[in-house]
Amino acid sequence: MIFNEIDINKRFDKVIKTAWEVFQCKVGNGLINIYKEASMQLQFAYILQNLIPVFIYEKDENVDIQLEKTVYYNGTSSEVDMFVIITKGNNEYKICIEMKCYREFAASGGKRGATDIFMKDVYVDIEKLENYKNNNVCQNTFLIIMNDLENLINPKKTDTKCWDYNISNDFILYPKHLTTPIGGKEISIKINNQYNFKWTKFGKYYFLML
């Protein structure tokens, strides 16, 4: 159980998952309105920040949350949506969290397009998170996604090229190199690990954590 976990690193892996469950319930029940990634970051960070004091057990434990954190590796830089630093004495445990949000309609009421770019960008974030971990930017990663398009989760057809970036429910992504162009741009995405896309539904929204 989360309350009995002595190891602070394992404890806060569970706290992040708990914050995600709370976020889903609040969004699904209409207590929080999310229309784009920025508001998703802020609302999820707020929930997580409020959970932190409950799960700090000793005086030498501390957790710091940073949004849009710039990290450096292999001579390049990247922005992490949420960077969590867990400190126990002199030891640090870092977690990178990327977020994706797609709503069929924007807050203005206008209909969004470019679902193919959203699907491709999910794969981009998977690759980014793998790179962060492989280059010691962090020790653990999470990708959290929400959307309200039934066709992305339970598609009737998957014969168009965008489905090379399949994110549908129960899809298993195996290690592969993807080069299918999206939006007229050349692409090279290398996925090294296996992922199982298990979506959950709350209200009219679908949620996924990888």
DSSP assignment of 146-202: EE--HHHHS-S---SGGGGG---TT-EEPSEEE---BTTB---EEE-S-EE---EEE
If one counts the domains in the chain, the total is 1
Q: Among 7, 2, 1, which Cα is nearest to 139's? A: 7
Instruction: Name the pairing type of β-strands 91-102 and 140-147.
Output: parallel
Q: Can you tell me whether residue 15 is helix, strand or coil? A: helix
Residue 206's pLDDT is 97
Residue 127's pLDDT is 98
CB 105 within 8 A of CB 79: no
d(CA 48, CA 34): 16
Residue 1's pLDDT is 67
> Per-residue pLDDT for the chain (210 aa), expressed as one digit of tens each?
677 778 899 999 999 999 999 999 999 999 999 988 999 999 999 999 999 999 999 999 999 999 999 999 999 999 999 999 999 999 999 999 999 999 876 666 666 667 889 999 999 999 999 999 999 999 999 999 999 999 999 999 888 898 999 999 999 999 999 999 998 888 999 999 999 999 999 999 999 999
Structural domain for 198, as ranges: 2-209
Residue 113's pLDDT is 64
d(CA 49, CA 64): 9
